[in-house]
Chain A
Amino acid sequence: MDKVNKLEKKGILDSYVPKRFGKEYYEINGSRQYSMFLSVALGVKKSFDDWVQPDRLDEFRRVCRDYGLYLETDVIFDKAQLDKGTVIGGENITTTFVVAEQFMDKTGPKSRAGKSDRYKSKSSQKLHVFVSGSKKTAIEAKKFGWYSVIINNRNINKPFVDHLRFGGCLGYPACCIDFFRRFNNWSLYNHPYEVYKNTPNLPGMAKGSYLCNNHLMDNSYFFIHHLPCSYRCENTISYARMVEDRIMDVEPGYARKTAGFLKQPLLVFGEKNFIIFDGRLKQGEIRYTNAQYLSNAARPEESISFFEDVLKGNRITFASGSAAISGVGSRGPAKSVDSAGSICSADTGHFGHTGTGSSGCLDIMHNNKLVSRVKKRKDWFIIDFD
């Protein structure tokens, strides 16, 4: 585990320190959502939502004002110190597992006699805010931007249509919002896998466009913050290209670094649950020297358990022909035994273009030696971007 922890700390994705544009934002909130701030400040994106330390709200508000942006406050998010199983509606928690508190602020909408005029926050608390170049849009975003949060041990969801309306306020393409409507049902679908299936195979090209790579959102390097309807979605590409071009004008180093990270191959297990590799996908196999696992903190039960093996290896592939499993001793090429002792059928396809969507096994190799063979779920996929 020590090795894992060391490497996880090292990771692949670092934080970005702006050279010029948006430095003041970075100084308050770091770079996790820096791209969203840039996109809205540059007028490409309608609005975004963010989280700020409540006692730094005044500073944050000033920065927004200096960049011509309006801000609307919502509620306080605090890390849930609860067993999710004991929360009413806990089974519906998807990407956000937080307890909410009401925010009282003298400059906010809740200016009432007898209430505290300044919020004394704990370090774990973040105030949810909506930011836009238009006050009207910021208010519209607030109307529909409620998150699924826990209040008095009950998880309170908004009506599903509000997710779609909120997407509109954030400037997401209509085709992707409608795709979200159809497939963002966590009990029925793995949304990213549906996106993958909806992506055409273009001969001689990577599976996706880096401009449609949403997976790194909230991790400093991304141009889009929505799940696209396809990793080749034309509306997303034209929008993301505008974002990239405008950022290139003001912070070229960030634009170039982001494009680079967005072209790295991924092994995707689900929404906010994937491994990024520093290598390249070639003929259905990723060769790498480093990898980073980003899991969904709100659904730890879906985290994979074999990342340590990934770090021990330098190649990853579907279990396939004899080349992929040479050096495995008695395990034959057609059928093999995984670490849990079950039989895995071999899959001779390639990840990137034809082999995904099948069950089978995932081989983690170090050079030609098998480190681990993992039973693969049908909806896991590897994807590369160009």
Chain B
Amino acid sequence: MENRLAIFKDKWGKLERYLGFEIRTRRTAIDSDACHDESISYSLCQRFYGRKDELEKALAYANNMLDMIDGILEPEGLPEYARKDYENYKSTNTILLIYQLVGNMYYMQGDFQRSAEHIMRCLSYERNDIGLWVELLFSLRSAGEFVLFEDAMFNFRALVIQWQADPDKILTHQKVVELIDAVSGND
């Protein structure tokens, strides 16, 4: 595990150099007066618009990083030393950021289903960031799920709070539909 994380850190640096920007975002709570942070999607657009091959290369690299850390978001069963690293990584958002980055890369690529899947994975662990919800909802809209998008957007606050209080661990598409139906009165 330690070795894997060290390699991960190294790859992170290489990826940032290839991207040309720092992979970071500001998490925004629903009660915040700040607007959500769009810097990842904006920076990706500036870097890769019209550069399909380079985007594919970056995406393959980032996916390889995700393969390395597959399961790292689940601390159960990890040895003690790995749990410590896990906590560090979780607290600095590092692993979530890679998932979010990959989700945004898929969005750039036009694969909105995969984009949604990665953003939902982030939302499973980071439930306070409305920026992730906005990214997820636009993935749904771009995939043609207009009704779901609007029902969510017009009940946004209730939706975010509903998920924060939900006992389920993992956000899935089915769960998103259930949450949206619950807050928009469609159930």
Q: Which residues of chain A have a CB within 8 Å of any CB of chain B?
A: 75, 88-89, 91-92, 100-102, 109-110, 112, 114, 139, 142-144, 146, 151-152, 154-162, 164, 178, 181-182
Number of residues from B at the complex interface, CB < 8 A: 32
Q: How far, in angstroms, from A88 to B108 measured CA to CA in the complex?
A: 26
B156 touches A154 (CB 8 A): yes
> In the assembly, what is the distance between CA of A129 and CA of B85, in Å?
51
**A151 close to B153 (CB less than 8 A):** yes
Query: Are the CB atoms of A158 and B138 closer together than 8 Å?
Result: yes
Cross-chain contact A161 with B144 (CB below 8 angstroms): no
SS of A interface (majority): mixed
B107 touches which of A92, A159, A164 (Cβ 8 Å): A159
B32: A residues at CB distance < 8 A = 88
Which A residues are in CB contact (< 8 Å) with B33?
Answer: 88
By secondary structure, the B interface counts as: helix
A161 touches B45 (CB 8 A): yes
B153 with A156: CB separation less than 8 A: yes
Once A142-B146, A151-B153 are accepted as A-B contacts, the answer to whether A160 and B108 lie under 8 Å apart by CB is: no
With A110-B147, A160-B38 given, is the CB distance from A152 to B156 under 8 Å?
Answer: yes
The answer to whether A109 and B134 have CB atoms under 8 Å apart is no
A114 to B186, CA, bound (A): 9
A residues within 8 A CB of B107?
Answer: 159, 161
Interface residue from B46, B135, B144 paired with A143 (Cβ < 8 Å): B144
Q: If the complex has contacts A151-B156, A157-B38, are A109 and B146 also in contact, measured as CB distance less than 8 A?
A: yes
Contact (Cβ within 8 A) A160 B41: yes
Contact sample, A vs B, 14 pairs, CB 8 Å cutoff:
A88-B35, A89-B35, A89-B36, A102-B150, A110-B150, A114-B185, A156-B153, A158-B138, A159-B38, A159-B42, A160-B41, A161-B108, A162-B138, A164-B45
Residues B120-169 near A (CB distance < 8 A): 134-135, 138, 141-142, 144, 146-147, 150-151, 153-154, 156-157
Q: Which B residue's beta carbon lies closest to that of A114?
A: B185
Whether B35 and A159, one on each chain, are in contact in the complex, defined by CB atoms closer than 8 angstroms, is: no
Which A-chain residue is minimally distant from B104 (CB atoms)? A159
Shortest CB distance B66–A (Å) = 21
On whether A159 and B138 interact (CB within 8 A), knowing A102-B154, A164-B45, A178-B50, the answer reads: yes
Please name all residues of chain A whose beta carbon is closer than 8 Å to the beta carbon of B157 when the two chains form the complex.
152
Neighbouring A residues of B185 by C-beta, 8 Å: 114
Cα-based distance from A235 to B141 in the complex (angstroms): 31
Q: A156-B134, A160-B42 are in contact. List 9 more A-B contacts (CB 8 A).
A: A89-B35, A102-B154, A109-B146, A143-B142, A157-B35, A158-B138, A159-B41, A161-B45, A162-B138
Name the residue on A nearest B46 (C-beta). A181
**B36 and chain A: residue at smallest CB distance:** A89
Name the 9 nearest CB pairs between A and B, nearest first.
Answer: A89-B35, A161-B45, A159-B41, A102-B154, A160-B45, A160-B42, A143-B142, A102-B150, A181-B49
| Set of chain A residues within 8 Å of B45, measured between Cβ atoms | 159-161, 164, 181
Q: How many Å from the CB of A78 to the closest CB on chain B?
A: 13
The residue that B142 contacts in the complex, of A151, A156, A162, A182, with Cβ under 8 A, is A162
- Of all chain B residues, the one with the shortest Cβ separation from A178 is B50
What's the nearest-Cβ distance from chain A to residue B129, in Å? 14
Partner of B138 from A92, A110, A146, A164 at Cβ < 8 Å: A146
| Contact in complex: B150, A75 (CB < 8 Å) | yes
Residue from B38, B138, B156 whose CB has the most chain A CB atoms within 10 Å:
B138
Whether B6 sits at the interface, judged by CB under 8 Å, is no
